[in-house]
Amino acid sequence: MGLSKYKIRELITVIDERNTFGIYNFYGININKDFMPTVANTDGLDELKYKVVRKNRFVFSGMQTGRDKCIRLSMYTKDIPIIVSPAYTTFEVTAIDIIIPMYFFMRFLSKETDRLGWFLSDGSIRSNLDWDSFCDIEINIPDLPTQQKYEFHGDYSQRTFTIGAPCC
């Protein structure tokens, strides 16, 4: 098994699907890479401007990467769609012949990857990791049979992956 190096931009496609479906489940992502219901007051908000997040879609926020020392990224795994702020970037892993979406997400659950995001953040007062810098991150990827050996356990905050039965 050899590793192949890819830039993130080679593996994903941005999806900018707006809420024309009447979805009212407002969510955000936290520093633990979990989705959480928004704590903001959503009364009077125009939900049509919000982005739809469907199963296996990712949400990225480059805001405050340096301050929080983490890349805010999460993969949505539920069947019922939610909506997130238009400030987030939503994308899908489309190079599924190269990488399994859950394995892609697993690569962002390590402290090492979070430190890389912190290092790449722009150094401004908010220490943002801009989208282009995120897309230029290179990751080493094993072949698909090796990726399929990783099994996901528990919730994302536990960051538990083991080699076992195929996960995807």
- Among 4-8, 22-26, 158-162, whose mean pLDDT is lowest? 158-162
- 95 within domain boundaries: yes
Q: To the nearest whole percent, how much of the chain has pLDDT over 90?
A: 61
> Looking at residue 84, which CATH number applies to its domain?
3.90.220.20
pLDDT digit string (tens) for 97-133? 999 999 999 899 888 888 898 888 877 667 899 999 9
How many distinct structural domains can be found in the chain? Answer: 1
pTM of the model as a whole? 0.88
- Answer whether residue 168 is part of any domain: no
Cβ density class 27-45: b for 16+ within 10 Å, e for less: bbbebebebeeeeeeeeee
Span 132-159, pLDDT tens digits: 999 999 999 999 999 888 766 555 445 4
Full domain range(s) for residue 70: 4-163
- Residue 2, pLDDT above cutoff 80: yes
User: CB-based burial of residue 91 (10 Å sphere; 0-12 exposed, 13-18 middle, 19+ buried)?
Assistant: buried
User: End-to-end CA distance of the chain, in Å?
Assistant: 19
What's residue 1's pLDDT?
A: 59
Q: Is residue 46 part of a domain?
A: yes
Residue 73 has phi, psi (to 5 degrees) of -150, 140
